[in-house]
């Protein structure tokens, strides 16, 4: 049989539980840090590879533009006119993209349903209907 001195007190039980919960939380934080560090390294590597691929695609676009201009010179056109036509095509593409962007921006509207329901929250917390 155990003596009264060996029985844990409520204070000791609370202290032990608090210590165990603290250790558990610290372990979970350490695990999350290690997982996030690994994910951040992978994400950084992926971002670097995407930037590199984007740069190579930009170089390819430049080379294709020069190639298109030289194909136009093969028709007997002067090189200056051929390069001007390619530049004009890119200019028209850029203007079209800007026009589509402006059209898309004009379609943006405020979230009216969300605003209405958010306005009803304070009344609901007070126990009234909106």
Distances 115 to 34, 74, 109, 118 between C-alpha atoms, Å: 40, 62, 12, 5
Report whether pLDDT(1) > 60: no
Alpha helices in the chain (DSSP H): 10-73, 79-106, 112-125
Distances 33 to 20, 38, 47, 56 between C-alpha atoms, Å: 20, 9, 20, 34
Contact indicator for 69, 79 with CB cutoff of 8 Å: yes
Report whether pLDDT(109) > 80: yes
pLDDT band at 4 (very low <50, low <70, confident <90, very high): low
Question: Which residues, at least 6 apart from 16, have a Cβ–Cβ distance to it below 8 Å?
Answer: 8
pLDDT band at 102 (very low <50, low <70, confident <90, very high): very high
Contact indicator for 59, 77 with CB cutoff of 8 Å: no
**Single pTM value for the model:** 0.57
């Amino acid at each position: 049989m155990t003596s009264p001195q060996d029985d844990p007190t409520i204070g000791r039980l609370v202290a032990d539980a608090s210590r165990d919960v603290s250790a558990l939380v610290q372990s979970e934080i350490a695990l999350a840090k290690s997982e996030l560090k690994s994910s951040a390294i992978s994400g950084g590597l992926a971002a670097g590879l995407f930037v590199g691929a984007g740069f190579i695609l930009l170089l390819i676009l430049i080379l294709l533009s020069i190639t298109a201009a030289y194909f136009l010179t093969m028709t007997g056109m002067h090189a200056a006119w051929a390069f001007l036509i390619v530049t004009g095509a890119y200019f028209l593409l850029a203007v079209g993209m800007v026009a589509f962007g402006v059209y898309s921006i004009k379609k943006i509207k405020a979230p009216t349903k969300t605003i209405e329901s958010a306005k009803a929250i304070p009344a609901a917390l007070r126990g009234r209907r909106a």
